[in-house]
């Protein structure tokens, strides 16, 4: 069955946001954003390997190259977010990770926002566009999310988006060196109204 991979140059726009993949020329801007958000993101991220600084030039450059490779091979689609009014300054990230094709045709949703841009509805607005992309051009059938029970802001985002709660996974992911329980949510193409009103019945292959 043919693999559907939208172009790496894909740009999504919403009322307030522009979303696109990171380029090698973005490394300095990405480092600024990651450093500024270190304390904000620390409780929700896997611990780095001993001695590794995820904000070093080497690590950020490698992660951009990895994201571009993974996009081109259809393994993940990662978008950086910026305000349309200030497109050169990133304010967050939304990614479709661990894409499985075959019988699954699904991905895991990951997201975070710059600490200074929270609570304005921007993350929800960005994820809506990424879901349109996932169920539209990327032709996925399922998008899953896993959230720690003590992350009320993320739970609120997923609730606003209308994800369906699927279950409770004990010791699901290792975050900050500890195996943490997560609540599992999902949304499938059948539950996602497409902007052009078509697609629910569209063939996957
Ligand atoms: C989770 C996160 C991405 C949300 O981004 P955001 O741009 O603030 O999201 P939105 O503004 O679209 O929605 C946030 C909602 O949480 C609500 N909220 C904020 N603090 C809250 C709290 N302590 N308890 C309950 N709800 C809260 C906001 O009021 C808003 O809901 P509303 O629109 O009904 O008012 C951001 O807080 C973040 O980066 N957190 C750290 C990383 C993270 O947790 N990533 C997700 C891992 S699963």
**pLDDT per residue over 139-177, tens digit each?**
999 999 999 999 999 999 999 999 999 999 999 999 999
Res 167: pLDDT: 98
Q: Decide: 63 and 76 in contact? Cβ < 8 Å.
A: no
Q: How far apart are CA 24 and CA 41, in angstroms?
A: 23
Distances (CA, A) of 92 to 11, 34, 36, 132, 167: 15, 9, 12, 18, 27
- How many distinct helices (H) and strands (E) make up the chain? 5, 8
CA 70 to ligand 1 center in whole angstroms: 28
Helix/strand/coil for 118? coil
Provide the mean pLDDT of the chain.
Answer: 93
Token output for 86 = 């200030």
Beta bridge partners of 174: 179
Residue with tokens 């078509």: 198
pLDDT in the model for residue 205: 39
Residue 203 pLDDT: 41
Q: Which residues line ligand 1 (CB under 6 A)?
A: 41, 44, 111-113, 118-124, 147, 151-154, 156-157
Fold for domain 11-191? Answer: Aminopeptidase (3.40.630)
Pair 129, 14: CB distance under 8 Å: yes
- What's the gap in Å between 158 CA and the centre of ligand 1? 9
Tell the residue nearest (CA) to atom 3 of ligand 1: 112
Structure tokens at 58: 């080497």
**pLDDT at res. 194:** 67
Question: What whole-number distance in Å separates Cα of residue 65 and Cα of residue 57?
Answer: 12
In sequence order, what are the beta bridge partners of 96? 77, 109
Phi, psi of 114 (to 5 degrees): -55, 135
Q: 69 pLDDT exceeds 50?
A: yes
pTM for the whole structure: 0.95
Q: Of residues 117 and 2, which shows the higher confidence score? A: 117
Q: Would you place residue 1 in the very low, low, confident or very high pLDDT band (cuts 50, 70, 90)?
A: low
Question: In terms of Cα–Cα distance, which of 148, 22, 16 is closest to 85?
Answer: 16
* CA of residue 187 to ligand 1 center, whole Å: 19
């Amino acid at each position: 069955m043919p693999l559907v991979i939208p172009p790496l140059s894909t740009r999504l726009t919403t009322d307030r946001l522009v979303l696109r993949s990171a380029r090698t020329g973005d490394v300095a801007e990405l480092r600024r954003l990651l450093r500024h958000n270190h304390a904000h993101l620390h409780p929700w991220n896997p611990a780095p390997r001993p001695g590794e600084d995820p904000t070093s030039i080497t690590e950020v450059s490698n992660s951009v190259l990895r994201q571009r490779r993974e996009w081109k091979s259809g393994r993940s689609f990662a978008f950086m977010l910026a305000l349309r009014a200030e497109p050169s300054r990133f304010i967050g990230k939304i990614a479709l990770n661990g894409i499985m094709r075959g019988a699954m045709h699904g991905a895991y949703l990951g997201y975070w926002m710059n600490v200074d841009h929270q609570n304005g509805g921007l993350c929800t607005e960005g994820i809506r566009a990424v879901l349109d992309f996932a169920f539209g051009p990327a032709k996925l059938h399922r998008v899953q999310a896993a959230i720690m029970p003590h992350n009320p802001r993320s739970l609120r985002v997923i609730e606003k988006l209308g994800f369906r709660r699927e279950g409770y996974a004990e010791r699901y992911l290792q975050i900050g060196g500890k195996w943490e329980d997560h609540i599992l949510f999902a949304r499938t193409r059948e539950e996602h109204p497409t902007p052009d009103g078509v697609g629910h019945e569209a063939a996957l292959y």
